[in-house]
Amino acid sequence: MDPENRQRGRLRTMRTSLGHLSRVDGSSIFQAGMTQVWASISGPGNAPSNFLEPDRIAFDVQFTTNFDQQKNEIVDAFIERVLEKVVECDLHPHTALTVSAQVLQEDGSMISAALNAISLALLDSAVSCNSVMCGVQLSKDQDGRLHLDPKRKEETGDFIVFACKATREAGATTISSLKFGTWNDELSKAAEEMALAAASEIFGFFREAFQRQYRNDIFSKLADLSLTES
């Protein structure tokens, strides 16, 4: 349950299920509060030649939302930029990675939930990555107050999504962000600080999820190879 009186600045309760789809290479369901997203990873594999890149992997991102077409294209492009920074793209030239995500239940923070579902599906697929990423979303109300991981009733047209990766000291650093609405430098910086603190909690949840389901610390093995120096 996600209590109505949760403190502002706290993440909602997270849940996940890994490897639930059999005909893909990796899959997950990620839930934050009442928002639930599934994601799947297929590939690297073949694709039409006009879609492929000669020296790196190509991404086919399919995120199904209730956004209008223009916003959907912006979000898909953002997810692709994040993937380009975490997947070892040059290890799989002339192949494609299909990344699908769909909102099963929506109560705010859809984009960050999709990033987290995709990250878990990537880990489940064992696609070669140089880092472990997560997503954090915040909104800004009319009084300029920030809401972390906002529910639908807390969301406004002014929201920001951070894609973060883990550091060796169990912290996090920002690798990309997506803004909608009006954000000044001061609020953007405050939002990023809240996002980085939340990202550390999300990474801890990822680690526990893999230890619980697979009885080994594959997240830690990946992290030992990929986490950046802070």
Taking the C-alpha atoms of residue 112 and residue 32, their distance in angstroms, rounded to an integer, is 10
Lookup result for tokens 């639908």: 152
Assess if residue 46 is contained within a domain: yes
Assess if residue 3 is contained within a domain: no
Assess if residue 208 is contained within a domain: yes
- If one counts the domains in the chain, the total is 1
Taking the C-alpha atoms of residue 121 and residue 125, their distance in angstroms, rounded to an integer, is 6
Q: Which amino acid is located at 7 in the chain?
A: Q
Query: Domain residues for 98?
Result: 14-226
Lookup result for tokens 């839930």: 31
Q: What is the full per-residue pLDDT of the chain (230 aa) written as tens digits?
A: 444 445 667 999 999 999 888 899 999 999 999 999 999 999 898 877 777 888 999 999 999 887 778 888 999 999 999 999 999 999 989 999 999 999 999 999 999 999 999 999 999 998 998 889 999 999 999 899 999 999 999 998 899 999 999 876 557 899 999 999 999 999 999 999 999 999 999 998 998 888 887 766 555 555 444 444 43
Assess if residue 150 is contained within a domain: yes
Taking the C-alpha atoms of residue 166 and residue 223, their distance in angstroms, rounded to an integer, is 8
Assess if residue 121 is contained within a domain: yes
For residue 124, the domain's CATH number is: 3.30.230.70
Assess if residue 188 is contained within a domain: yes
Taking the C-alpha atoms of residue 191 and residue 140, their distance in angstroms, rounded to an integer, is 9
The encoded tokens of residue 211 equal: 């230890």
Taking the C-alpha atoms of residue 48 and residue 95, their distance in angstroms, rounded to an integer, is 9
The encoded tokens of residue 71 equal: 């916003």
pLDDT score recorded for residue 228? 42
> DSSP letter at 152?
G
Assess if residue 5 is contained within a domain: no
3-state secondary structure of 151: coil
Assess if residue 63 is contained within a domain: yes
